[in-house]
Amino acid sequence: MKKLENKVAVVTGASKGIGAGIAKSLASAGAAVVVNYASDKNGADKVVAEITAEGGKAIAVQGSVAKKADVDRLFAETKEAFGGVDVLVNNAGVYQFTPIEVVTEEEFHRQFDINVLGLLLATQGAVNSFGDKGGSIINISSTVTRITPPQSAIYTGTKGAVDSITQVLSKELGPKKIRVNAINPGMVETEGTHTAGFIGSDFQAELEKTTPLGRIGQPDDIAPVAVFLASDDSRWLTGEIILASGGVR
Ligand SMILES: NC(=O)c1ccc[n+]([C@@H]2O[C@H](COP(=O)([O-])OP(=O)(O)OC[C@H]3O[C@@H](n4cnc5c(N)ncnc54)[C@H](OP(=O)(O)O)[C@@H]3O)[C@@H](O)[C@H]2O)c1
């Protein structure tokens, strides 16, 4: 029997990047997967097609994690398709580095609404859907909370909140058999890091110099850690912040 047989997983922001990699790996391990996306329907449909071509189960559900009505619909559609939910991966996230002199209210709210409020709303939806059997929540934070790069006050602020929320909720939800852990990746090559100009930048070169394993990550470096945290193999872990960064800390 596969590790995640009979489990249902919701992965937010799974139309590309780290989320797509995690959705495909959870499905390979036997889970039925809900591929959430905000705007990239083609990307989400492609992830679903790759999973079903391998004999797995998946559906795509559009919805912004920053909007409660969308999140409620995400969990209602999950229940309708697969009967319940066992695993939530809070992966949806946005990032932009900005010097403090040009920080705007709009950019603050964009990043905090998706990365923090969105994570809280999706968590609330999952907690209300898990039922008596409990579940596993996996928050995708970032190694920026350790390396605190210049010009990242907003983004690092959002992920600092994610680290703290992970630890608070692990205590709050433990009695409900809900485990809450975080994976904090170092730089990973994704559509997002290409668009943000990180790939090929001096920042990447600097990071690689200080990374014990000497390179940046790929989504496939992160996904097995999510499979582990989703599975019973990690049944005694909650409130953990796991750096998945080639040794950057
Ligand atoms: N890549 C890295 O170096 C790195 C390092 C550490 C941590 N992280 C974290 O890992 C996560 C994924 O990063 P990535 O690099 O894979 O990003 P990415 O390639 O830009 O993909 C982001 C995903 O999030 C979705 N998304 C954006 N806003 C959303 C919203 N309001 N509601 C639902 N989904 C939304 C996007 O959906 P659409 O495209 O459909 O709109 C897309 O599927 C983020 O939380 C990020 O902070 C990334």
Would you kindly state where each structural domain of the chain is located, as residue ranges? 8-244
Please report which confidence band the pLDDT of residue 86 belongs to, taking 50, 70 and 90 as the band edges: very high
Check if 185 has its Cβ closer than 6 Å to any atom of ligand 1. yes
State the catalytic residue, choosing from 82, 95, 155, 203: 155
CA-nearest of 47, 7, 52 to 23 is 47
Looking at residue 17, its pLDDT comes to: 98
Q: How many angstroms separate the CA atoms of 241 and 162, rounded?
A: 10
Please report which confidence band the pLDDT of residue 196 belongs to, taking 50, 70 and 90 as the band edges: very high
The fraction of the chain above a pLDDT of 70, given in percent, is 100
Please report which confidence band the pLDDT of residue 39 belongs to, taking 50, 70 and 90 as the band edges: very high
Looking at residue 14, its pLDDT comes to: 99
Residue-wise pLDDT tens digits, 121-167: 999 999 999 999 999 999 999 999 999 999 999 999 999 999 999 99
Check if 145 has its Cβ closer than 6 Å to any atom of ligand 1. no
Looking at residue 149, its pLDDT comes to: 96
Looking at residue 183, its pLDDT comes to: 99
Looking at residue 174, its pLDDT comes to: 98
Please report which confidence band the pLDDT of residue 228 belongs to, taking 50, 70 and 90 as the band edges: very high
Looking at residue 80, its pLDDT comes to: 98
Q: What is the mean pLDDT of the chain?
A: 98
Instruction: For residue 63, report the distance from its CA to the centre of ligand 1, in Å.
Output: 14
Instruction: For residue 1, report the distance from its CA to the centre of ligand 1, in Å.
Output: 31
The DSSP code for 39 is S
Report the pLDDT averaged over residues 2-30.
98
Looking at residue 245, its pLDDT comes to: 98
Pairing status of strand 87-90 against strand 135-140: parallel
Helix H, strand E, coil C: the string for 52-100 is: HHCCCEEEEEECCCCCHHHHHHHHHHHHHHHCCCCEEEECCCCCCCCCH
Check if 92 has its Cβ closer than 6 Å to any atom of ligand 1. yes
Report the pLDDT averaged over residues 67-77.
98
Looking at residue 166, its pLDDT comes to: 99
Report the pLDDT averaged over residues 95-105.
97
The fraction of the chain above a pLDDT of 90, given in percent, is 100
Report the pLDDT averaged over residues 221-233.
98
CA-nearest of 98, 6, 102 to 57 is 6
| CB contact set of 118 (below 8 Å; sequence gap of 6+) | 12, 64, 65, 66, 71, 90, 92
Report the pLDDT averaged over residues 19-40.
98
Distance from first CA to last CA of the chain, Å, rounded? 36
Check if 166 has its Cβ closer than 6 Å to any atom of ligand 1. no
Check if 162 has its Cβ closer than 6 Å to any atom of ligand 1. no
CA-nearest of 49, 45, 28 to 36 is 45
Question: CATH class for domain 8-244?
Answer: alpha beta
The DSSP code for 207 is H
Report the pLDDT averaged over residues 197-213.
96
37 among known catalytic residues: no
Looking at residue 37, its pLDDT comes to: 98
Instruction: For residue 114, report the distance from its CA to the centre of ligand 1, in Å.
Output: 10
Please report which confidence band the pLDDT of residue 188 belongs to, taking 50, 70 and 90 as the band edges: very high
